[in-house]
Amino acid sequence: MLTVESQSPDHTFLLGEFLGAIAAPGDIYCLSGDLGAGKTVFARGVANGLGITGRVASPTFTLINEHPGRIPFYHMDVYRLGGPDEMADLGYEEYFYGQGVTLLEWAGVVAELLPEDRLEINILQTGDDSREISFVPRGERYRRLVEELNRHVCAGS
Ligand SMILES: Nc1ncnc2c1ncn2[C@@H]1O[C@H](COP(=O)(O)OP(=O)(O)O)[C@@H](O)[C@H]1O
Ligand SMILES: [Mg+2]
């Protein structure tokens, strides 16, 4: 596990941006954290790292926003879902097991549907502008990704 202290929205954005820059097709990032923790800020960074230039709106009401990019980006917010049953109606497998990068806000709501291999990212609010962001890799692909993230963070960013 890797834990990073973020001191500002920009810092959180830049972390997401680095992850987006090293993302690969089929990746899935599962975010958790309270309302206002910074999940969408992080997601916007990921989108930027993927080369997406358009506006990245919060999918709070749309459930999913698809952005074409270097790799397609599927940005989901499942907070308002009643649970895994409603997720099935969305055809989520196409996203989770497809060739895009999927990022879920409130991933815990659909915990039982998440692929075994995934990157869990938890954002904890520790002050007005400070956040503790932890990265927990599930599976080999994500262990390598977190190692790379760790090297990047240690190199000072
Ligand atoms: N270090 C930080 N990282 C991310 N957001 C921060 C940070 N400090 C303050 N904020 C603010 O917290 C809010 C996070 O909002 P948002 O990303 O929409 O949260 P969520 O999607 O988790 O509900 C934004 O208003 C942002 O400016
Ligand atoms: Mg959000």
Please determine, for residue 23, whether its predicted confidence score (pLDDT) is greater than 70: yes
Note down the domain range covering 133. Answer: 2-152
Ligand closest to the CA atom of residue 121: 1
Question: Any idea what DSSP says for residue 69?
Answer: S
Task: Note whether residue 157 is domain-resident.
Answer: no
Is it the case that residue 69 has pLDDT exceeding 90? Answer: no
CB 82 within 8 A of CB 100: no
Residue with tokens 């917010």: 77
More confident residue, 115 or 155: 115
pLDDT value at 142 more than 80? yes
Q: Any residues with CB less than 8 A from the CB of 130 and at least 6 apart, and which? A: 5, 6, 7
Lowest-confidence region among 52-56, 59-63, 131-135: 59-63
Task: Return the pLDDT at 56.
Answer: 95
pTM over 0.85: yes
CATH code assigned at 16:
3.40.50.300
Please tell me the total count of domains within the chain: 1
Atom 27 in ligand 1: which residue has the minimum CA distance?
9
> Which SS3 state, helix, strand or coil, does residue 45 take?
helix
pLDDT level of residue 118 (50, 70, 90 thresholds): very high
Q: Tell me the CA–centroid distance for residue 35 and ligand 2, in Å.
A: 7
Has residue 109 been placed in a domain? yes
The verdict on the CB of residue 14 being under 6 Å from ligand 1 is: no
Residue 17 has a pLDDT of: 98
- Residues 41-58 have a mean pLDDT of 96
- Do the domain assignments include residue 57? yes
> Which candidate, 22, 39, 132, places its Cα nearest to that of 78?
39
Report CA(58)–ligand 1 centroid distance (Å): 12
Please check the confidence at residue 84 and state whether its pLDDT lies above 90.
no
70 vs 97: which has the higher pLDDT: 97
